[in-house]
Amino acid sequence: MTSFLNQKEIQIQRLNLHDPDYIPLHYLIAQDIIKELEQFKNEVFPYLIECTTTTFNELINKYDALKNIVYLKHDSLRWLNKNVYLIFYEKALWEYQIKNEVDGDYFLQRSLQYNRTFPDAVLLKLNKLLDKNRFEDCLSLLNTLYYETELNREQEKRAIEFTDKFYDKLYRTGDSLVKMEHAAEALELFEILEIFCFNLPTAYCNDDYYHGLLRSKSGIYESYLAIVKAAEERGNPSIAALFRQYAQEYLDSNPHLKDYEPVVKKTLEKQKDIIEKIILPLETNLIVTQTPECIKNVEPRLSLKEIKEKYDKIVLDAFALCMKEEFLKSYNMFLEAKKLEDCRCFEPDFRVNLMLEELSKLIH
């Protein structure tokens, strides 16, 4: 009997009222301890009359003391468990204040796990996502903010301020990408902005976003036409025909572009210069000189033929990425091809060095 009460005493002492990570679990443990003490009372107390007065009083006093302590802790844990999201939120604020972003992000996420519609945590999370340009995640969380949370006046004001900031940053980023001739990336942002304007209060939106959408789509269409023109000038009708087909298919799926006149005339000279340098006949007869000892140092599991096939595929894939304006990915793939040239077991494609030089100017 005494050993049981001693065991419960240790468990009660270990109940944590300070660390929010433990509060939900320890709240349940406190409930279990109360049940076990009640069961002990019902099953053991009837037999205490056979004990000596000293033993009887000792057990009763110890039981009463443990019951009082565990009930007090249980009541505290019940309140803490109900409001644990607030504790996590306050810890997140503190970590952000001392510039500890990693722990701040952790505690903020924990707060939202316990209460995903807590307005203060949602607003804080939105600002953190916007700082990292995670626009799509912002859009999803904005729907939660406007359609699932209950906002007081102060929170409504902050929500309006954030929404205005979100629209402004998204539009300005997309607009800058269009001017930098990154039409495909700009289109992704303007499409997010379009969803935003359809799903959220329209007071935040004007015709600017729609013109941005058209400008970015127009930029993609013009990119296809630029490749067509460059291919024709280089005497490569097959590539010209392929990208003319792409351009027509894109125009067919976006018929509103036919009558669209951009507010700002987009220049494609930079892109055209690059394209004219890379659109060359893709079928080349390369002279292969092999040195088996060299091959072992580069691709020990590939034959000479397989190394050459891998190299050619990487080069073609790198060109395709460049045409999609994914310049960083294209640059990395040309670097991968360049490494394969170290085996000196085939005639390298001279365009690899050319593209590394041109792309380096764009991304650095």
Q: pLDDT by residue (tens digit) across 200-219? A: 655 556 556 555 555 656 66
* Residues 176, 233 within the same domain: no
Q: Enter the tokens of residue 274.
A: 């690059």
What does the pLDDT read at residue 197?
75
298 located within any domain: yes
90 located within any domain: no
C-alpha to C-alpha distance for 170 and 193, rounded to whole angstroms: 7
17 located within any domain: yes
Q: Enter the tokens of residue 332.
A: 């990395």
Give Cα separations from 106 to 35, 109, 160, 209 (angstroms): 34, 5, 26, 34
* Residues 185, 229 within the same domain: no
Last residue of a domain, one of 144, 174, 205: 205
Instruction: Count CB neighbours of 249 within 10 A.
Output: 11
256 located within any domain: yes
What does the pLDDT read at residue 201?
58
What does the pLDDT read at residue 252?
72
**Amino acid identity at 303:** S
- Could you read off the pLDDT of 62-75 as tens digits, one per residue? 888 888 888 898 88
Q: Enter the tokens of residue 343.
A: 């085996």
* Residues 142, 200 within the same domain: yes
What does the pLDDT read at residue 119?
93
Domain count, the chain: 4
The domain of 48 spans 2-82
Please provide residue 328's backbone torsions phi and psi, each rounded to the nearest 5 degrees: -65, -45
* Residues 190, 127 within the same domain: yes
What does the pLDDT read at residue 280?
45
Residue 302 is classified by DSSP as S
**Amino acid identity at 118:** F
What does the pLDDT read at residue 89?
94
C-alpha to C-alpha distance for 114 and 239, rounded to whole angstroms: 56
Indicate the Cα dihedral angle 80, 81, 82, 83, nearest 10°.
Answer: 50
Could you give the angle at which helices 304-323 and 327-340 cross, rounded to 10 degrees? 160
109 located within any domain: no
111 located within any domain: no
Last residue of a domain, one of 230, 256, 278: 278
* Residues 199, 262 within the same domain: no
**R_g over Cα of the chain:** 34
* Residues 236, 305 within the same domain: no
* Residues 126, 201 within the same domain: yes
* Residues 52, 26 within the same domain: yes
* Residues 252, 324 within the same domain: no
C-alpha to C-alpha distance for 128 and 264, rounded to whole angstroms: 33
* Residues 200, 138 within the same domain: yes
For the chain, list residues with pLDDT below 70.
Answer: 1, 47-56, 178-179, 181, 183-184, 200-224, 226-227, 230-231, 236, 239, 242, 250, 253-302, 323, 325, 350, 358, 361-364
DSSP reduced 3-state for 303: coil
Side-chain-side CA neighbours of 290 within 13 Å: the count stands at 10
C-alpha to C-alpha distance for 271 and 226, rounded to whole angstroms: 8
78 located within any domain: yes
Chain position carrying tokens 């010209």: 240
97 located within any domain: no
* Residues 7, 46 within the same domain: yes
